[in-house]
Amino acid sequence: MAVESGVALATILKNWKSDSLEDAFSFYQNLRKPRTDKVTRTSYEAGKLASADVPEGTSVEFNPEALRERMKWIMDYNVLEDVFEKGAPHFVEQEKIQAQL
């Protein structure tokens, strides 16, 4: 998460077209917070499943493959694609960025 957030923030600040850092940081927060909240919740739930003897709502047989599949969205995420898609209207070279997507 820290690496993703660092890449996102650096990309936003590098490409931000206005002089308002407040707007850039607000955009960054709005971009990152939903994902980081979801990762935190999902990690907490996965930790409970993996560490409990018989987690609530599961059977005695723990299925690591099902857990991997459930968490796949975390690894399939492309931070640069997300930043450029959502940030293009705020970035200096909007047309060039949209052409890269």
Task: Write the CA distances from 20 to 17, 25, 67, 89, integer angstroms.
Answer: 9, 9, 42, 15
Look at 81 and 63; give whichever has higher pLDDT.
81
Listed range (4-8, 55-59, 69-73) with the worst mean pLDDT? 55-59
Task: Give me Rg for the CA atoms of the chain.
Answer: 18
Q: How many CA atoms lie within 13 A of 4 on its CB side?
A: 17
**Tell me: the pLDDT tens digits for 27-69?**
999 999 999 999 998 888 777 766 665 556 555 566 778 777 8
Q: Model pTM greater than 0.75? A: no
> Could you tell me the residue ranges of all domains in the chain?
2-100
CA dihedral 42, 5, 12, 20 (to 10 degrees): 90
